Structure 1
């Protein structure tokens, strides 16, 4: 499954650190993009819910929308996508059919275009995409700096939100066009309607998926960020998603260095030391990954 090309896997780490988002997947050796293996949703134990942050936005018809839309449904499936995401667009016909099944359960599918419909040209392009894919379910545009939208860096990503505006379980990373997965989502919604606490767990369905030989090196990178999460989150919070998108082909150590240099006045001497030492470690790890890829 193809997903949006991201400049760095660290943005997924940033999302996990900042908003407890979990993503499963392997690094694609040929393109350097994130590829998601199949995932499933399971009803499970009770969890402490995270609120979907309040928002004020527009739907594609220009109508004002806010978080009160969640109260009108037993559950709302929020699907994040953007104009250039082939995986997002390809799943839309299946989502259109699924939206009808959701309505039968008192639930609703809502698409949120992440950034690419924020101007007239982008909106026209997004509307054209929806029209060609036969989409009739509601689609929204939220501000690019919205607290939750900023944490989504892999597309498509879908979250389940209950009537009180609580996010149920983990985000579901990757397409949800598979009928089995949709059945599992419906099961979660039934649990929500019954008033039971549930968790949406993203796990690999493909037991035969190839093991990435660089997996241990990516884990080393993750540890660099996790060991000083507060400092790295401070840097990540200053990075605008459109900047990452414009620099998608740039080595991410170089990109992060540029972002840090632009904001270093906001960091203490000790924080700056942590960032610089971390970037040095990441550069060394990336060199090892590149050498491994050449074999």
Structure 2
């Protein structure tokens, strides 16, 4: 299934996608698409936000449900948009279990235009489940900023605790939705929420690789933020069929005067690592397709 790889914080494009399992198999408390620096997080951070009807919301929304699924998405994410009709059906089933799916758009709070576009997308997809954007809470915004693949869905209990393993990738197929329902039932019953072991081990390896790649950006966050700040949406959309590493290398080259020699060395070494990781992901992806 497809996820959208993040190119820049809150400015992402749909051209660079990889196949990835919806769930990881580790035992951390946060999505394996997020940085290792936050892997001990167990409680979703306090936040302030606004739902798409204009109502103020905060972490108290979790207390209204036995389990709340937060589905993180953005307007340009085709995988996010395509799964919305299935999410609408899933939310109907969840409501019968005193649970709820809530969409969290990571860019709708940036401008009225972005919010209007998000609302239009939901309308066209027939999605009526609650959606919101988060505007306050430094830890919450940092948490969202470290999500590497979209869509990502996490389960949160009525006390605000993140439960089980977050789901990375689209969840529109019936099998995956049935697995989510079971996860919700297990959470309500106080059981340990675990990822079904039916997924191929190739998926687990992909998840580890994507996490390793994301850690590169977190370990050298300040210097990579300078790169991301210089990336324009047009250049990302026009990148064509070049690899992710080639795209990043080109962006560094364009802005090389902005970096010190030490920073350029760090970026060059990081890009080599990213290129190696991407090749491993592509190989695993090819093996997975060949086994179908």
Distance 1:223 1:156 in 2: 18
Change in 2 beyond 3 A, CA 1:60/1:263: farther
Q: Count residues with an aligned counterpart.
A: 252
Matching residue of 1:25? none
Q: Give the SS at the match of 1:3.
A: strand
Q: How does 1:90-169 map to 2 (within 5 A)?
A: 90-116=82-108, 118-143=110-135, 146-169=141-164
Matching residue of 1:37? 20
Matching residue of 1:6? 6
What RMSD, in angstroms, separates the aligned Cα atoms of the two structures? 4.3
1:1-59 Cα deviation digits (max 9, x unpaired):
44335338xx9xxxxxxxxxxxxxxxxxxx972323343588x9897761111110100
Structure 2: give runs of 5+ residues left out of the alignment. Answer: 30-39, 240-245, 283-292
Structure 1 residue 279 and structure 2 residue 267: aligned?
A: yes
Distance 1:290 1:187 in 2: 33
2:27·2:165 contact (CA, 8 Å) conserved in 1? Answer: no
Distance 2:185 2:193 in 1: 10
Give the structure-1-normalised TM-score: 0.68
1:41·1:184 contact (CA, 8 Å) conserved in 2? Answer: no
Structure 1: give runs of 5+ residues left out of the alignment. Answer: 12-30, 265-271
Which of these residues, 247, 251, 258, is aligned with residue 251 of structure 1?
A: 247
1:102·1:109 contact (CA, 8 Å) conserved in 2? Answer: yes
Distance 1:233 1:257 in 2: 18
Q: How does 1:1-295 map to 2 (within 5 A)?
A: 1-7=1-7, 33-40=16-23, 50-116=42-108, 118-143=110-135, 146-200=141-195, 205=199, 222=212, 231-235=219-223, 238=225, 246=233, 248=236, 249=239, 251-255=247-251, 273=262, 275-284=263-272
Change in 2 beyond 3 A, CA 1:87/1:194: same
1:74-120 Cα deviation digits (max 9, x unpaired):
01000011111111111111110110100111100000111145311
Aligned-residue offset at 1:153: 3.0
Aligned-residue offset at 1:234: 4.8
Distance 2:227 2:100 in 1: 30
Q: Give the SS at the match of 2:220.
A: helix
